[in-house]
Structure 1
Amino acid sequence: MQSTKQQLKALAEARRGVIVPGAFNALSAKVIEDLGYEALYVTGAGVTNMGFGLPDQGFMGLTDIADHTARIRDAVELPLIVDADTGFGNALNTYHAVRTLERAGADCIQLEDQVSPKRCGHFSGKAVIETSEMVGKIRAAVDARRDGLLLVMARTDAAAVQGFDAAVERAQAYAEAGADILFVEAVTTADEVRTLPQRLQVPQLMNMVIGGKTPIVGAEELGRLGYGFVLYANAALQGAVAGMQKVLAQLRDAREVREDPTLVAPFAERQRLVGRPFWDALEKKYA
């Protein structure tokens, strides 16, 4: 049987537009797995939003994402792509971050070239570090791997700051430094989306942010274009927020909530997702 790292590498190389939803905690990861997805993304924005109630502006630290990764790794068998922001410092910090996240269960670690503190790729006001500094971080990440199958994903935010061509040049430099997967963030036109797979040879991820700067393109088309992964980092989060607002508004207004499957997951479904039958059986075994 293939390891999760081998599975992820095969998915990247197949270039068929595999949809990768974002998980912000262990239960969201279990829902993703239960619905049949092939991989998931441990989202820094989601951890920051749901864990701290703060915007994606560099508030998350290495310990935060490592703790979430370890819990998710324990909950699901899917390959995990883990958002490591800027590596939480310089190349040495990046080396340490890769060691820490690999130990926590990551199969791929994503690093980006923003100036720290970073911000959401679809926010204004971003800045990027020098290409040479990011190349050093990627080289450090590659050297830090204990398992050579661990993948390194390099993200560039340069399109918003220096233009599309500069972003492509950076991505190419990152591939030459050893990045296994490339992620050009926040492109703004459908033509740019279509062009990237023609200009970069390394497998790529395209980020579909609902309400963001990149036009939404279907996963089928992105697969035909040659993208390895289609990221929906915070679709589950946005859906969860909408669901919470809906049920809590009804509770406030009607003063009660009944078991309506269009409004809340049934009690039995919640227990199934968290594996209660397994734990009940275990309890009987050891009684």
Structure 2
Amino acid sequence: MLGVHKSPDEKRHQFRASLFDSSLLQLPGAISPLCAKLIEQKGFQGFYISGAVLSADLGLPDIGLTTATEVTDRGRQISQATNLPSLLDADTGFGEPSNVGRTINALEDAGISACHIEDQLMPKRCGHLDNKSLVSIKDMQLKIRAAHLSRRYNTFTLIARTDARGVEGLDAAIDRAKAYVDAGAEAIFPDALIDEHDFEAFRKAVDVPLIANMTEFGKTKLLSKAALESLGYNAVLYPVTMLRLAMKAMEAGLDAILAEGTQVSLLEEMQHRSDLYTLLNYPAYGTYDKTITNFKVGGETSLVLS
């Protein structure tokens, strides 16, 4: 809509340039198109579309219950709201290698800039939960290869996520990452690393861009931007941060309304109507409407078609 002028391919170029840049690419999780617009307004260079958030938004746990269609459609809505590039969580690719290839094409058509595919077996689990099972290295390589061959835009970035740290150990996770790069992954997302030692070991062993996950209440020590930059990481995700902030604020608001019978005490905690209208670019839509309907023929208003 108004204010969004970059094409999907321009966004894909932007993501790749930022991923290979010397500074750390910070990607907050966008829980909605409106949230994505706020992330853009605040000056971030991109955003993340989390599978855990999409599942939660549907009232479901993050165990692979969402479908490729649901994820693609929501990804399209969020990615089209801004000029920023988007990285989307494609879970296990929604099937076998041929299904993964079709998923990649759907995400390209939806305007997504990049995606990651993980090496879990179904039913999958959040990367910071226990009792996960992994596919074989060969099977994951086949999925990555299918994604690579199916991709129609070389600017669409293919990222492999490995959950092996908590299942097979650090060394095995690194071995898997190297095998995934050999199969065509352009970047690696090692999930549920523990501390600086893990991050440093991965950086020393793997020579493609690395993505850190700074999710709250999980297995990973929360590291600052400066710390991750010093460790040589290329991007960092804050996947569920916005959802957790929003849900906590909503809990407090609902409790106050129940207890007090009014929302008056909450006004200072709310985004003001005027700030929301600014974020939505209300004035520009008013101008746009006038330019459509200001052409008159025979005294009657007519639509301007060109």
Shift, 1:285, TM fit: 2.0
Alignment partner of 1:278 is 2:284:
yes
Q: Which residue of 200, 204, 219 maps to 2:206?
A: 200
**Superposed, which structure 2 residues align to 1:85-124 within 5 Å?**
85-124=91-130
TM-score by length of structure 1 reads 0.96
TM-score by length of structure 2 reads 0.90
CA RMSD across the alignment: 1.5
Runs of 4+ residues over 4 Å off in structure 1 = none
C-alpha distance after superposition, 1:160-217 (max 9, x if no partner): 1111100000001111111111011111233112221111100000101111001111
Shift, 1:260, TM fit: 5.4
**Contact 1:67–1:104 (CA under 8 A) maintained in structure 2:** yes
SS in 1 for 2:211: strand
Shift, 1:258, TM fit: 3.1
**Contact 1:15–1:229 (CA under 8 A) maintained in structure 2:** no
Alpha-carbon distance in 2 for matches of 1:260, 1:163: 47
Shift, 1:15, TM fit: 4.2
Alpha-carbon distance in 1 for matches of 2:215, 2:208: 22
Q: Which residue of 38, 61, 69 maps to 1:63?
A: 69
Shift, 1:22, TM fit: 0.8
SS in 2 for 1:118: coil
In structure 1, the residue matched to 2:220 is 214
Alpha-carbon distance in 1 for matches of 2:72, 2:37: 18
Q: Which residue of 40, 47, 67 maps to 1:40?
A: 47
SS in 2 for 1:105: coil
Alignment partner of 1:30 is 2:37:
yes
Shift, 1:68, TM fit: 1.1
Shift, 1:259, TM fit: 8.1
C-alpha distance after superposition, 1:18-45 (max 9, x if no partner): 2111112211111111111001111111
In structure 1, the residue matched to 2:180 is 174
Indicate the structure (1 or 2) with the bigger Cα radius of gyration. Answer: 2
Alpha-carbon distance in 1 for matches of 2:40, 2:109: 21
Q: Which amino acid aligns with 2:273?
A: F
**Contact 1:98–1:144 (CA under 8 A) maintained in structure 2:** yes
Alignment partner of 1:152 is 2:131:
no
C-alpha distance after superposition, 1:100-122 (max 9, x if no partner): 01100111111000002211101
Structure 2 residue runs without a partner (length 5+): 1-5, 294-306
In structure 1, the residue matched to 2:18 is 11
Using the TM superposition, name which of 246-255 and 165-174 deviates more. Answer: 246-255
Alpha-carbon distance in 2 for matches of 1:243, 1:273: 20
Shift, 1:17, TM fit: 2.1
Query: Relative contact order (alpha carbons < 8 A, sep ≥ 6): 1 or 2 greater?
Result: 1
Shift, 1:80, TM fit: 0.7
Alpha-carbon distance in 2 for matches of 1:275, 1:89: 40
SS in 2 for 1:109: strand
Q: Which residue of 167, 184, 189 maps to 1:161?
A: 167
Q: Which amino acid aligns with 1:136?
A: L
Q: Percent of counterpart pairs with the same letter? A: 33
Alpha-carbon distance in 2 for matches of 1:146, 1:56: 29
Alpha-carbon distance in 2 for matches of 1:16, 1:111: 24
**Contact 1:15–1:203 (CA under 8 A) maintained in structure 2:** no
Q: Report the CA distance shift for 1:241/1:10 in structure 2 as closer, same or farther (over 3 A).
A: same
